[in-house]
Structure formats: C-alpha cells, structure tokens
Amino acid sequence: MGVIPHVIAGAEVTDDVRTGPVFNPATGERIAEVGFADEARVAEAVAAAKAALPGWRGTGLVKRADVFFRLRQLLLERSGELAAIVTREHGKVLADAAGEVSRGLENVEFAAGLVHLLKGEYAEQVSRGVDVHSVKQPVGVVACITPFNFPIMVPLWMTASAIACGNTVVLKPSEKDPSASLFLARLFAEAGLPDGVLNVVHGDKVAVDALLDHPDVKAVSFVGSTPIAKAIYTRASANGKRVQALGGAKNHMVVMPDADLDAAADAAVSASYGAAGERCMAISVLVCVGDATADALIGKITERIARLKIGDGTDPASEMGPLITAEHRAKVAGYVTGAAAEGAKVVVDGTSQAFDGDGFFIGVSLVDGVRPGMKVYDEEIFGPVLSVVRVASYDEAVALINANRFANGTAIFTRDGGTARAFEAEAEVGMVGVNVPIPVPVGAFSFGGWRDSLFGDSHIYGPESIHFYTRSKVVTSRWPDPSESQVNLGFPSNH
C-alpha cells in the first residue's frame, strides 16, 4: 500500500515513524497510508519555507502572477483527475468534486491579479516637501491547516492569496483525504513556483501543535470544527501569531409563507443533503414561518427525498455519496435516534436505509418539531439531517437565528423585497442568501462567519485575505530643498 508523502523544499518524503490510514468511504477499503509528521519534520518544513522567503518575496510581481496564470490553466486541464482524487478519498460525487475544483479556481484567478491587489497608497505633499506612501509586505511563513470536507477548495482559499502576497507556506491538510493537497503542490511546482514556497506536511495534533508553537511561523489560517478552531486561535495568538480560525456552523434557511414553495423545497433538499451534509454552508435547519408553510414544505421535501439516488460517487447516477468515516456515520445516526427520544418527530429516518457493501453510507433524514435545547438543534451534525423548526412570525425566525451560537451562513426564501431587505439588515450572520440557499461568496469577496463560526478578525480569501497575509508599512519621505535645511527641536507638525 502506498504512503502519501510530505512535500518539503520540493522533495517528497515518506520515512515517518507514525502513519495513518486513508479510506475510500464508498467501499470502506483502506487505500493508502499517510505519513504523520513529528516536530522535527515540521521544523524541516518551516525551515524550507523560511529559506525560500527572501527569493519569493523578491520575485517581481508580474513573474509571481505568471505562476497563477499557469496554475489556472493546469487546474482546468486536470480538473477531472483532481475531482477523481477528491471523490476517492472524500466520497462526494464526481460532479460535486468538480464543482469544488471550480470554486477553488476562483481563488487562483483572484490571486493572478496580485499586481493590482498589492498596490499601496500615496499622498503627495502632506507637509511642505513631505510625501507619504504605504506598502503591503508579506508576513513571512504562513501555516495553513485545513479540514476534510473540501480537500482542494479550502487549501486553495488559503494558499493562493498567501503565496500571491509573497509569503511562503506550510500546508497541513486533513489526514483523512490528503492526496488533493499533494496534487496541488505538484501542480504549483509545474506552474513554476520555486521549491520551498509551498510545503505540505501531513499529520494530526502533533504536527498542528508544532506549527502553532514554531517561532518562525508568523500567521495561521485554520478551517475546521469550532472546538479545534477556538483552541488553535487561543494557542497561536498566545504565541504572538496572526490567526484566523474558521469553525463549524448551523445554517438556518427561513421560508416565508409567500415564498415559491417548490423552489424552496428544491433548495432545501439540495443544500441540506448535497455532499451528504458535509459542507460548512449546508442548510441544517429549515425555519418555517407558519404551520401551513411547514406542512406544505415537509410534503414537498419528502417527495423529493424518495427520488434521491445515494451511491458510489464515481457512478454518474449518484447524487449523494457516503460519509467520511464509519465513526462519523455512527455519530450522525445518533443525532437522529436521539431526536426522537427528545420529543421531535422523525419524518424520514435515513438511519434505517440499507446499503450493499462496506461503504460509510447513510440515508437522509428529515426531523420535524425541533426546538432549541434539543441536541439535534444545538450541535453541528455535519451529515444529511435536516431539522424543521416551526415559528409563528418573521421576527421569531430572526430571533432564533441571532440566538444561535453559530453564525456562518443563513438564507431567506420570500417574494417580498421588503422582508428580504430587513433580513439582510437584521440577521447577525456572516453570509446571507436571498433565495440562494448556500451563499458562498465568489472569489472577489471574502468568506467568513460570525460568533463561534470564526475566531479572529479577518474573513478568508478575497480582499480580506490580502489584508491578513500582508503587513502594511507607511513611509514618510522628505526631499527638501537643501537651501531650507535647519535645526529645529520642536515636535514635527504638519500645520
């Protein structure tokens, strides 16, 4: 069985003492091993990134941009191959994996505009003979730590902007589906990125802690679950690093009585069960305003569920693949059985659906009568489970959303522009959709939640990433007329 290597200074390394298994979730088969980096291996990767820094930050901006133009072309040419790698280790269906590649491509396209993005500001003659300009300089070595659910898109969210800004990177992808990051490092190299600018180390908490504690790592980008995001934020910021740590979610979709209920049912099914619910922007709570709305929607969603095709992601007929591991499947099933015990009504019970073979499949579930205080509502499930919460009014829907500890995404379905506009203003959530169930911003905007969905000040990719991955410096210059030079002990004043 092959061992998936680290990439350090352009070399692929596999001689680790510890390794972990990688599965194909559709078959349950153990398909590879991945090396787990120890502290020494992480130190090698950080040293490689540090050594590559002067050369990369000194590379002309147009030449840097060339790498991204070439990378874009390579990603387009090889997106099928990359999608197959994602499906094999993650389980999502091929069309969804290809969608992930194309969303990641937006970050490469954004990064290719780096000459424009890194422009500073200039003010002439702020005082007699004095000009001021600002520049954006790289922060240094950046650690990027990513989750299993988007094994190519999330690494691109981070690495594209970090590298465009002149930094060097150590990427620690999820140990559950590490091959996409290896493929990305190889493509970056083919696109002309010098060795050491992007290093990949695999592993678990040992590797992550080594990155968080290493004095030469200056910034940390993390995406994963809320408890780990919080711990990463606390530890890395205590070590003096700049940190952005994106966490979990519980995304509510509000359906008003005036909405197009067929469109809302299509959106709810797609957004809650797509990728088996393993998306941080998945809809997991359907907030129905009025019982008539709830009853009608539950009927329409149940009809659609009956037609869903669940199976191996490589089968073009499959619409939903398996969960990532057998343990995760047991955890997701526990929420559904627990919901019934807590007094909710399980309308569709996916846990009882049988599948051939040893894959980590589960059917989709729909649970009605869910309320705050029930585990199925309070916790992130990260599986194909949609909870219905019935409320009497728009105000009650907004209050519910704003009281939730997560605040990644939310959406409203309505035909009323005034209601939509009020929702946009009143929902205390980082990303809002109006008749759009998964409002992931395009690459020219930044992505991020509020409250327990993000620890730190900066959202990820887009304009905020340029701010996060650079330090600004302001230069005040005087080129006075030599004939006016004189000693003056007063405090410098511009008046």
C-alpha distance from residue 133 to each of 98, 122, 466, 475 (Å): 43, 4, 18, 5
Residues that bind ligand NAD (CB under 6 A): 145-150, 154, 172, 174-175, 204-205, 208, 223-225, 228, 246-249, 280, 380, 382, 408, 449, 453
Residue nearest to ligand NAD (CB): 224
The set of residues, in sequence order, having a beta carbon less than 8 Å from that of 50 and lying 6+ positions away, is: 140, 141, 168, 216
Q: How many whole angstroms separate alpha carbon 333 and alpha carbon 383? A: 9
Residues annotated as catalytic are 280
Q: How many whole angstroms separate alpha carbon 482 and alpha carbon 462? A: 45
Residue 272 or 419 having the CB closest to ligand NAD? 272
Q: How many whole angstroms separate alpha carbon 326 and alpha carbon 334? A: 12
Query: Is residue 439 a contact partner of residue 281, using CB atoms and an 8 Å limit?
Result: yes
User: Collapsing DSSP states into helix, strand and coil, what is residue 368?
Assistant: strand
Q: How many whole angstroms separate alpha carbon 209 and alpha carbon 232? A: 8
3-class DSSP string for 229-281: HHHHHHHHHHCCCEEEEECCCCEEEEECCCCCHHHHHHHHHHHHHHHHHCCCC
Query: Is residue 384 a contact partner of residue 378, using CB atoms and an 8 Å limit?
Result: no
Cα of first residue to Cα of last residue in the chain, in angstroms, is 73
Give me the least distance between CB of 189 and ligand NAD, in Å please.
Answer: 22
Radius of gyration for the chain, computed over Cα atoms and rounded to the nearest angstrom = 25
Query: Is residue 325 a contact partner of residue 176, using CB atoms and an 8 Å limit?
Result: yes
Q: How many whole angstroms separate alpha carbon 106 and alpha carbon 253? A: 26
Query: Is residue 203 a contact partner of residue 213, using CB atoms and an 8 Å limit?
Result: no
The set of residues, in sequence order, having a beta carbon less than 8 Å from that of 236 and lying 6+ positions away, is: 212, 220, 243, 245
Q: How many whole angstroms separate alpha carbon 436 and alpha carbon 385? A: 19
Q: Based on DSSP, count helices (H) and strands (E) in the chain, helices before strands.
A: 16, 23
CA angle 330, 386, 257 (to 5 degrees): 170
The set of residues, in sequence order, having a beta carbon less than 8 Å from that of 45 and lying 6+ positions away, is: 6, 8, 37, 170, 199, 200, 201
Structure tokens at 277: 């619910």
The set of residues, in sequence order, having a beta carbon less than 8 Å from that of 309 and lying 6+ positions away, is: 317, 318, 319, 320
User: Collapsing DSSP states into helix, strand and coil, what is residue 134?
Assistant: strand
